[in-house]
Structure 1
């Protein structure tokens, strides 16, 4: 029968684990860490920068659907008279985009684009997601240093939180024979999201206050592929009806719906656009922004 490890081994192990957790937690709660606020800081920089030549300042907040549909290369599309920036997060609900609202209330853009999915309840635990992210970053950095790859230090969280501003969304290729199956599975998951009938009333109230101050609010419904939209139609329309009741259209509050594309090869999974889909969307989106500018 194997003997139990000496007590000191358990003590050393506990101290090691505590040390690792302390190192992971230190950047999060240290006084020199920026408040998350990387995103809020980025929003602050955009809104504080002086407008050039009277350009219309348009800020977008959205989920991964907006990230996939508007990669950084969109900025290369001709949009004269418009300063455009967007911040996104992986799933529905405001999550860690919340701090940006305080910045927006202090220094609002001319137009605030908010993807409808953000008005759903948060779909995950933001704090746990951030802790998992910190753990992965710390672990990778330790591995790089142990293996001698000193130059391969994992970027700080400020970069990770803003990765959508620097890189396009990754789209994993799905074999054509599996595409329909994957798309329908994704549709079922999306429908579950709309089963929750709640609307973020705190957010609708904040948007109402911004509208009363003269900020133009555009609620953007980013439509998925035709196959997914058909699958989720009933539940989604019921939720959108409740959203319009909570945030009625008005002179300063508008609803905008993107085109529905039947081609499945424009999407990674039936929801997130690939490069071809984003290119097609960019033409429509640039025209919408120009129209918003002309209507000012």
Structure 2
């Protein structure tokens, strides 16, 4: 049994806690959060110990691995301490908002031979994972283009925008990682455009954007096109298309059911899309935790690494530079 401590009792911590507690090869030992009113009920719900000192939770002898779901500016300190103590880590993205600090942390993890997995949960979505398996099986031949549409149902709270690091580091970074994963090659150039068309009054205060398009290209000429917007009035829009030399793979949005209604007044009417990431990626978060525990139990490589986090952030920084300069940026 892998003893796990979940650090952070917010919305992402709650997801990780239930997935750790229900994994048959893991035991949720502790939930740590500086706010006792947050970690207390969550820990009690899953039969774990509530702790207000995350560092103390990391140091416990019965904790083999930690899951970091705390604010981004605390990630490096917690991650580094866990690695120094020989604990495995599942860390939410990004490692840090600063690329230099992130790269330094990843280098330290490598030097200490630490086991750190970056939480790019979309790789573990059942349908997205099936798309990757189909690519690996050669069902569409060599990949030529990837198109990713990722749009939120509405602007996040202002407090979240203030601390998020901006659209590219917070939202687009997931799609940049997906593009790398599906292309199978590292992008060498980034071209991006961004605008403020949803809520100019909000985003301008933080020098941020709410709508963006990003073009990536690899050395061999493979391309990825990412579409982002903070507001899609019809719901949480998550679609992928992969064009290969002998065919195409595509993935449509998910809904509560697949029922369609056709009457004299409408054709093929469907239920609204799943509302947000907590619903849309429930299975992905569970599969992500299962993959983390399985790798630790079996002594196999972790499916993502700190280096993946650094590279996705590097692409996000390049996209932001491209927006500000109006030029294509080499990576």
TM category (shorter chain) comes to 0.3 to 0.5
Relative to total residues, which structure has the larger strand share, 1 or 2?
2
Relative to total residues, which structure has the larger helix share, 1 or 2?
1
Structure ranking higher on relative contact order (CA contacts 8 Å, 6+ apart): 1
Q: TM-score, normalised by structure 1?
A: 0.36
Of structures 1 and 2, the larger Rg is shown by 1
